[in-house]
Amino acid sequence: MGEEQVPSEEAGSTYVVGDVHGHRDGLAGALRAEGLIDDEDKWSGGNDSLWFLGDFVDRGPDGIGVIDLVMRLEEEAEKAGGEVHTLLGNHEILLLGMYHFGDEEVPSDFGPRSFARSWEINGGLLSDQDGLTDAHIKWLTTRPLLALVADHLLMHSDTMEYLDWGSDVDEINAAAREVLEGDDISEWWEVWRRMTTRYAFRGPDGPEMAQRLLDQLGGERIVHGHSVIADQLGIHPMQIEDPFLYAGGKALGIDGGLFVGGPCLVVRLPWAPED
């Protein structure tokens, strides 16, 4: 029997993980609790699918350790019939920008700008830069910005600015990859700038903006990281236990704020609040 004939009830589950920010052990513990890795941090999720929504590095102790773990799990899951995938977050753009351009000034009418300055301000760690290898650079550079998975539009940043790169998921991913494979510092800066914007789906216009993005790019619900749930709700990160469903149910925020004491949320899709 070919894979296409396997009954749908035997298909694996789909999980998403938000911003890890260098907290490798916290990530491993959360994945272990969901049965996706074993006590030796090896893939044990079978044919499940796991998507990381970016921001592996900065602000935490071991961004390179996080990247190494995810790269290894990607290989192990494939051998087991599962999948591990990664989207780029704004901090991956910052990490790569720092690596390629350092303190080179970005042409601007708004004062001095450089990746080095932004990297330092935003929690960049020398240990992450020093640990980067050619394999890391190649792998990160080829990650997409967006994905459509199980009727969900997966993205790192809760922003509409993805549309500045194109009108569909493939076009947006291709446009961003072209920039990251080039050496135009101004275009690189635009990727960083756009990916730092947030809160597009908040407030009274939030549901309309979310639906506009879904109508354009596909999917029934947006799933994103980037914006810490506690900041959205005005509570302490340690109070967070679940993802944040908002914008009339059209957007699901999954950044538990691991780097500020919140949980590493591993969310099974589709997600619904418990009664």
Sign of CA dihedral 74, 78, 81, 83: positive
pLDDT at 74 over 50: yes
For the segment 27-36, the average pLDDT, to the nearest whole number, is 98
CATH number for the segment(s) 12-226? 3.60.21.10
For the segment 194-209, the average pLDDT, to the nearest whole number, is 98
SS3 category, 105: coil
- Please state the φ and ψ torsions of residue 247, each to the nearest 5 degrees: 55, 45
Provide the mean pLDDT of the chain. 95
Interatomic CA distance for residues 155 and 137, integer angstroms: 21
Interatomic CA distance for residues 250 and 273, integer angstroms: 14
Closest CA to 252 of 224, 212, 219: 224
- Please state the φ and ψ torsions of residue 25, each to the nearest 5 degrees: -65, -40
For the segment 85-108, the average pLDDT, to the nearest whole number, is 97
